[in-house]
Structure 1
Amino acid sequence: MTMSTVAMATIRRRSRRRRPPALLIASIVFLVVIVLAAIFAPLIAPMNPNTTDILNASSGPSVEHWLGTDTTGRDILSRLLYGARLSLLAPLAVVILTTIVGAIVGLAAARSGGVVDLVLSRAMDIVFAFPSLLLGLLAVAIFGPGLTAPIIALAIGYIPFLGRIVRTATQQEQARPYIGSHIVMGFSSWWITVRHILPNIVPLLLAQATLAFGYAMLDIAALSYLGLGVQPPAADWGSMIAQSQSAVMQGQLWGMFWPSLAVILTVLSVNVLGEHLTDRTSARGRSLL
């Protein structure tokens, strides 16, 4: 076997290893389709999502209603497309708040050390003891149904999750020799944190935020299913599932099937993407050691 043949075989093996798996590609494609469908819902929805038609209530898929109608005759496809907006935006808001505050808390705890680290770590432990969904229920009980209070409550519940990860990653990063050299050179702690430590932990932070998005979507859907999240006539996938319960007892499953499938596939796709990003981040971390 010639050297060129060996080189080509090695290149092919490396390309196969770098090629993303089919499940990851399918997940990314699905997420792109869902996001585009939510953005362009007014253009592609066949009907007004809130228009009722009692004569066609709980009807099956047809030429006029591709996915059927719900218990009040509203077009399921239209409500599914419009519902994607709130179903995606609410978890995204939770993740953005969690990521910003969690990063600040984790960085402050690791970089300050001492009493500050102790106080922030114990505070995260206390909040971590409360399930995020319970915090969402408490927020609804205090402030009433809607999305604003649950979003803030869920974000608070997720902060310890990301805060701990950022704290650990920061401690590992600041133990590297280049941090010590920058300190000797007289650079401020703030400059080192913003210029070097934060950029190096951003990939890990984004990977964990992606995983948190799936959990947030499930919690928001659960609150909407209980009637404590999105309020009628607005729709998200969780409320659509709840509104179709009565039809299920009559053997009409499509009203619950389609939003349930949308939640399952979206959460699965986000988790696949998040796990891939986590693996990439872990591999990068090992290569730097």
Structure 2
Amino acid sequence: MGLHHVGHVVGDLAAAALRYRQLGFTVAPAAYPVLPGVAEPFGVANAHVYLTGGFVELVAAIDGRPDEARPIPLRVPEERRAGLEAAIRAASVAVGAFLERFQGLHIVIAGTGDLDAVAARLSAEGVGHGGVHAIQRPVETASGTAMEPARYLELTGPLPEGRVGFAENGRDSAALPVQHANGARALVECVLCVAGAELPAARARYRDWAGVRIVTAPELPRLLPGERPPALPAFAAYAVSVGDLAATERFLNGNGVPVVRTGPGEIFVPAQAALGSTIIFRQGG
């Protein structure tokens, strides 16, 4: 299973969107969920960076009606509304706790074409999860913003590295392809950094996942020179593919963004310059 999206938790969503635009990403307008029958906004606000087959989510907990973000009414069957409301409120608490731990990458969701089968497998293996939730998510289409069906589940634990789960999109998306000034195309990998003693458990947890690289703390600076994990365990980095790495490097240098070259086919922006999450740019299709 490849990556569906990663979530970058930030303290100031507007400032984070601005920084991502300086990094050359096209950032969709920020939004926050509104549930029928709930008067005040709650949960989190987010802004998406759409990529082929996945996206990066900028996430911040909200307190009242957030500025510079639009409300997105969620349509959900009445029998599932209470469960979804509880899940959103729990997510808000979790995001606040993530930010207290460090600003950076805390959410990794795998994509699947059969979420019910995943849920059944997890239950059979005794892996705790919060059940399948069906929602509508906003996407940008040729005729404007549209709501498309999506389903997800989250593992329970909690897991020490953050929020982990699975998502299934509708099969016939009308979302427009998004162009990025830095040439980003697809979300291809995230890097989980763990203590040596945690390595077997982490490998077992992500054994069926494509796109999750697990390294120990001493290995991280060898993979990404100069980088250190913000905590242990932690999702320390994610990678996107680009069509012309040299052009990406020229763009970032032109915007005054520090760039570290790790080899002929890869560069990265250090976490200190990218709000706590190292961003890898990798030559790819």
Same structural fold, with TM-score higher than 0.5 when normalized by the shorter chain: no
Q: Which has the higher strand share?
A: 2
Structure with the bigger RCO (C-alpha within 8 Å, sep 6+) is 1
Flag the structure with larger Rg: 1
